[in-house]
Amino acid sequence: MPVPSPSQFGQILDAAQKGDYALASINVTSSNTINAALYAFAETKTDGIIQFSTGGGEHASGPVKNGALGAIALAEYVHRLAAELGVFVALTTDHCVPGKVEPFLNPLLVEAERRHAAGLPNLFNGHMFDGSELSMKANIEVSQGLLKRMAPLGIVLEVESGVVGGEEDGIDNSDADHSKLFTTPEDMLMVYENLHELGRFTLAATFGNVHGVYKPGNVKLEPTILRDGQAAVIAKHGEGAKMDLVFHGGSGSLLSEIHETLNYGVIKMNVDTDCQYTFTRPIADHMMKHYDGVLRLDGEMGDKKVYDPRSYLKKAEQSMKQRVIQAAEDLKSTGKTLFGQI
């Protein structure tokens, strides 16, 4: 069962924290993008995470236009295929803002509760609540309610303090107040002190993160913010209080910045934009090179070999696979699967 159980997922996170490496968390929207991530994890013997945004789930649901149902369908697909792989592949959801809790996150928790009552394994290992648009007090209150519901099911809650800039999946923080792009030590203390007794959680603390890819110099990350926040928590509550942190906006980040965050407790990094690009780039190349074959021009019939979707989707999967492998290498998790050890 290479989608880990709650206990196994906890051990995977613990190993990453202890070993100063992180898990690549790859946003997907389809079976093809899932396959790209699975290829990468399996070929490199790397444990990783596949995650679904609200928009990704809705896209996957097709005419039903139901993000929760789409996420469930894709999760079931992963469970089927991952069972044949010799690595752990965890499943999470991404950036559920307050307005999406009822239509997206609540149905997923209802399904988890149904499965739990029936003695079935969880579909998901974790869910994210992005309460960054709320005050810290309101963010914490909603997070507490969700964690109280998720912890008995063995599901990890990811929370966010501060705002990740840029735009992703319809969430536009391009004009966010600059000060909100940086989590304070007080914010991190507040999160820890209000959540740690309720269940397992991870924190997406912000340190200038921006979704998307920008030209060098346009984004200024300050990883020391994570160091200072962790130090404040540990100083007050001891070494055991070190939090599991999540790095959002990993596409386009400098390797030196990624490695620095690993020293400060980052155990998960999200990669989306780069994966979108590397999936699409070979498709564009295929269409340009085989223009007269993919179209029926001047009464001709084209070339079935090049307009067969498999001909270019295979290229897309292989291209995105390489970006996922790069992410795992950058995060120092390559080859460190715990499959067969726990």
Q: Which residue numbers are catalytic?
A: 94
Q: For strand 23-27 and strand 156-161, is the pairing parallel, antiparallel, or unpaired?
A: unpaired
286 close to 312: Cβ distance less than 8 angstroms:
yes
Contact by Cβ (8 Å): 50, 89: yes
> Can you name the residues that pair with 168 across neighbouring β-strands?
171
Q: How many other C-beta atoms are found inside a 10 Å radius of the C-beta of residue 124?
A: 24
How far is residue 236's CA from residue 191's CA, in Å, rounded to a whole number?
13
Strand locations in the chain (E): 23-27, 48-53, 89-94, 126-129, 156-161, 166-168, 171-173, 201-205, 245-247, 266-271
Residue 250's H or E segment, with its range, is none
Start-to-end CA span in the chain (Å): 12
